[in-house]
């Protein structure tokens, strides 16, 4: 059953910008978030509390969070890797956090220098502490359809990691195709398996467009009842494991497709595209969204 409405989780200001080579000032990051809120997005990742030594693009996320003009009904989650990051997020007034674990053993060791089991052990107290402070916690699982080091990833691994994060208290689990190699039937088989462990209503999808499959995978997910989709304005964030390849699914392309299907998003496509043009111009690049490029060329109403 395809849902009548979809909640879009806008990841551009975090997952998008952290994979861009340009380091943007706080004021620009704040302006982007506020333009996205004005476009009608209700969940907007504001940044992450990782060490600026490793991700300099996300430095001063606390200042970004403090500078946003908060709107009622909008959530501004931030990514935290550990308790230290959580404490910094708490001090900055975060109301929602996100944590992440990989479904690939090699990816986990290369990315965060520990096994999957160790990563889950680290996350458990972060999630518990967040919940104790009344903070919502979202979980990400990466490499759900493939790993840059291992290739195929066993579905059972994804089910195990997603289930553990759900058991720890994550209200929602986002299944991430980190390298963008998934195809529609593979995506459906994965979702069907995970849904045996975590209810469909608690699942989201996060597809990268490295091989041009993201929208097709989204449609396949909608057919199973998935109603939460991650995307990035202007397609911000290349794929770090495929040189020159596009990364995140562009929010403009997603909204255009959902509009055409009669699925409610609450997002104004024209305002969304304008936010994408602003940040793309600032970065000195073209949007990675086909819809955005077409709209800018025609300057049509776009709604």
Please work out, in degrees rounded to the nearest 5, the angle formed at the alpha carbon of residue 144 by the alpha carbons of 140 and 149: 110
Catalytic residue among 143, 147, 170, 239: 239
pLDDT tens-digit series, residues 74-129: 999 999 999 999 999 999 999 999 999 999 999 999 988 999 999 999 999 999 99
Q: Quick one: tokens of 263? A: 């699925």
Q: Quick one: tokens of 78? A: 């931030």
Mean pLDDT, residues 187-194: 98
> How is the chain split into domains, by residue range?
7-298
pLDDT tens-digit series, residues 218-274: 999 999 999 999 999 999 997 776 666 678 999 999 999 999 999 999 999 999 999
Kind and range of the H or E run holding 230 = strand 228-231
Question: How big is the chain, counted in residues?
Answer: 303
Full-model pTM: 0.96
Report residue 299's pLDDT band, with 50, 70 and 90 as the boundaries: confident
Is 239 annotated as catalytic?
yes
pLDDT tens-digit series, residues 17-36: 999 999 999 999 999 999 99
Torsion over CA: 21, 24, 28, 32 (sign): positive
Assigned architecture for domain 7-298: Alpha-Beta Barrel (3.20)
In this structure, are residues 261 and 244 in contact, taking their beta carbons and an 8 Å threshold?
A: no
Closest C-alpha to 89, from 75, 100, 77: 77
Cα(249)–Cα(232) distance, integer angstroms: 6
Q: Is 50 left (phi over 0), alpha (psi -120 to 50) or beta?
A: beta
């Amino acid at each position: 059953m395809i849902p009548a409405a979809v909640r879009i989780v806008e990841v551009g200001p975090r997952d998008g910008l952290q994979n861009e080579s340009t380091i943007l000032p706080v004021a620009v990051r704040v302006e982007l978030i506020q333009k996205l809120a004005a476009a009608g997005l209700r969940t907007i990742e504001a940044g992450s509390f990782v060490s600026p030594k490793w991700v300099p693009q996300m430095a001063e996320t606390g200042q970004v969070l403090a500078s946003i003009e908060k709107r009622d009904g909008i959530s501004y989650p931030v990514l935290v890797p550990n308790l230290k990051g959580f404490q910094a997020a708490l001090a900055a007034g975060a109301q929602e956090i996100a944590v992440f674990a990989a479904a690939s053993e090699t990816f986990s060791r290369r990315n965060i220098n520990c096994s999957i089991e160790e990563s889950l052990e680290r996350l458990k107290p972060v999630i518990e502490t967040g919940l104790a402070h009344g903070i919502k916690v979202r979980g990400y699982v990466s490499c759900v359809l493939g790993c840059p080091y291992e290739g195929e990833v066993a579905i059972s691994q994804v089910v195990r990691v997603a289930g553990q994060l759900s058991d720890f208290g994550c209200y929602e689990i986002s299944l991430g195709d980190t390298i963008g190699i998934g195809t529609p039937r593979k995506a459906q088989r994965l979702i069907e398996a995970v849904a045996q462990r975590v209810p469909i209503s608690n699942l989201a999808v996060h597809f990268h467009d490295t091989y041009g499959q993201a929208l097709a995978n989204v449609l396949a997910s909608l057919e199973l009842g998935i109603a939460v989709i991650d995307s990035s304005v202007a397609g911000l964030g290349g794929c770090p494991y495929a040189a020159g390849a596009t990364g995140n699914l562009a929010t403009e392309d997603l909204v255009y497709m959902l509009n055409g299907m009669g699925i409610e998003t609450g997002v104004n496509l024209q305002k969304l595209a304008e936010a994408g043009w602003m940040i793309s111009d600032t970065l000195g690049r073209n949007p990675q969204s086909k819809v955005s490029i077409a709209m800018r060329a025609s300057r049509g109403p776009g709604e």
